[in-house]
Structure formats: C-alpha cells, structure tokens
C-alpha cells in the first residue's frame, strides 16, 4: 500500500510545504535578476512565506464545509482563496520592494505595476498546491484518521 492511497493530514501538509518550498526557492533564486538590490532578508522571507502558505493550505484541507456559512468549500475554491489572501497580506509587509520589482518588470507606466497583482499569483500557486495536496493526501475529516 502506497502512502498516497490513504488520506493523511501529514501528507497534505508535507505536499503543501514541499510545493511551497519549491515556489519560494524559485523566488529566492530569481529575485536578484528582477531586483538586483533586493535585501537578502526579502529573499529569505519569500522562501519561508511560500513554504508557510503551502503548509496552511495543506492543513485547511480538513475543512470541506465553511463552519459559519454552512456551505461547501471544495479544494479549488479554498486553496486559491487562501493563496490570494496570504499574498494580499504579504504585499502590506513588503509593499515598497514589491512595487519596485513590478516597476522593473513592467516599466513605470505599465498596466501591471500595482504590487497587489501578487494576490493573483497567490491564487494560482494556491490552486497548484491545493490540487496536489488533495490528489496525493486526500481531504476532509478522513485525513485525521491517520494521526
């Protein structure tokens, strides 16, 4: 029996953190090409941020219903929402750096110079993490049985 055949919260979190780490590592490596004067702390922050986002998306996979609104929350809704929200919050922490990076990439008069476009990036990354975490780790309360 493969470890991916039985739903597991630990597997979900591990998959989420692993994919988040890979995305963060890509940001860590590529940031100097987009913004050469970026501080090393920003680079480490991006690496650790996406690892954390992946862990959160993996952990929230236990909930398939919204606890207050009493409506279904499938993985394809839940994961992009969390990714977009977390990147929205990230923009508040590093607004100046992200704005500078967007200006370098798209130019000072470009249509996509707002750093809040990172929320869309977070949604796409969240969707990717949610897909693999659900596909390989399962979802719902069944994931708790492995603990």
What average pLDDT does the structure give for the chain? 88
Residue 143 lies in a domain: no
State if pTM tops 0.75.
yes
What span, in angstroms and rounded, lies between the C-alpha atoms of 18 and 55? 8
In a domain, 141, yes or no: no
33 occurs within a structural domain: yes
Query: Band of the pLDDT at 126, cuts 50, 70, 90?
Result: very high
Decide if 39 is inside a domain: yes
Q: Between the CA of residue 143 and those of 17, 21, 58, 90, 91, what are the distances in Å?
A: 16, 22, 11, 29, 32
Residue 20 is assigned to a structural domain of this protein: yes
Q: How confident is the model at residue 33 (pLDDT cuts 50, 70, 90)?
A: confident
Whether residue 2 lies inside any domain: the answer is no
Average pLDDT over residues 101-108: 84
**Phi/psi at 65 (nearest 5 deg)?**
-130, 140
Number of domain units in the chain: 1
Res 140 pLDDT > 80: no
Structural domain span for residue 90: 9-136
Q: Is 33 exposed, middle or buried (0-12, 13-18, 19+ CB in 10 A)?
A: exposed
More confident residue, 147 or 18: 18
Do 50 and 21 form a contact (C-beta atoms < 8 A)? yes
| pLDDT reading at 145 higher than 90 | no
4 in a structural domain: no
Instruction: Answer whether 39's CB lies under 8 Å from 90's CB.
Output: no
């Amino acid at each position: 029996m493969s470890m991916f055949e039985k739903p597991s919260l630990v597997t979900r979190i591990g998959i989420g953190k692993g994919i988040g780490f890979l995305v963060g590592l890509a940001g860590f490596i590529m940031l100097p090409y987009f913004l050469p004067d970026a501080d090393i702390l920003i680079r480490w922050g991006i690496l650790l941020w996406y690892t954390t986002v992946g862990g959160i998306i993996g952990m929230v996979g236990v909930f398939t219903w919204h606890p207050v609104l009493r409506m279904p929350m499938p993985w394809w809704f839940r994961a992009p929402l969390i990714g977009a929200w977390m990147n929205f919050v990230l923009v508040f922490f590093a607004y100046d750096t992200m704005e500078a990076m967007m200006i370098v990439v798209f130019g000072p008069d470009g249509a996509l110079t707002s750093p809040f476009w990172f929320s869309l990036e977070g949604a796409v990354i969240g969707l990717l993490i949610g897909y693999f975490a659900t596909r390989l780790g399962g979802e719902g309360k069944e994931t708790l049985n492995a603990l």
